[in-house]
Structure 1
Amino acid sequence: MLGDACKDGKEGAHAFAMKNLSDFALEQHRVYVLRHFEVEPAGSIVCSAYARSNPEKIITARFPQAVVKSGWQEHDNTAKLPWPLEVISFHAVRLGRRFQFTLNCVDFQREWESEWPQLI
């Protein structure tokens, strides 16, 4: 059935990208940590994370044309946070052509809207 729904390749590529990006989600028996989060001057958000059980497999994604909607952190200076930060949850909701993302970590929270992220 899935093969029939993805004949044009576009949906298949999107599904493949979504599968790869699901590595950011908390999967069964995995605890992820955020090692980097940056809002670039050009308007993209770049962040990277890894599973504590597999620290050499770092996942880095760019969220193009991002608009930060809200944020909170324990310290005003992010350098004072205890990096890497344990990820409590990462959630995505489709908003038409864009998406709303919510990242909750110990001592750090961000919510933003952007295009679908690209693995880099």
Structure 2
Amino acid sequence: MSKKTLVLGASLKPDRYSNMAIRKLVNYNQETVAFGMRSGEVAGVPIDTELVDYKDIDTVTLYLNPTRQQEYYDYVVNLKPKRVIFNPGTENPAFYTILKAHNITFEVACTLVLLSTNQY
């Protein structure tokens, strides 16, 4: 079953993990939307450079370091995702507390590994 996923911190650079995640999500037939600093397209997924009020987001997968995440706390909470994935390097206890307060599940994991091991 497809879980609509927002890749927050998407990159056009093929060697970036966010880019790899978009491609893998598409390969696994997961509905994917993306936000990044530069507009473009990865595997047919447009990268938005302005915050969009996406509907029915199941998962937000983060590719921003904890300092860069701060400006997106309210945005992520207001999307009301079922879960937020903190990929390696994005771990953020302050954000965990905010998510817990809003009953949003989070996990410290790697989206690429979750997909590859059928745990997504």
**Length-normalised TM-score, structure 2:** 0.26
The structure with more helix, counted as a fraction of residues: 2
Larger of the two Rg values belongs to structure: 1
The structure with more strand, counted as a fraction of residues: 1
**Length-normalised TM-score, structure 1:** 0.26
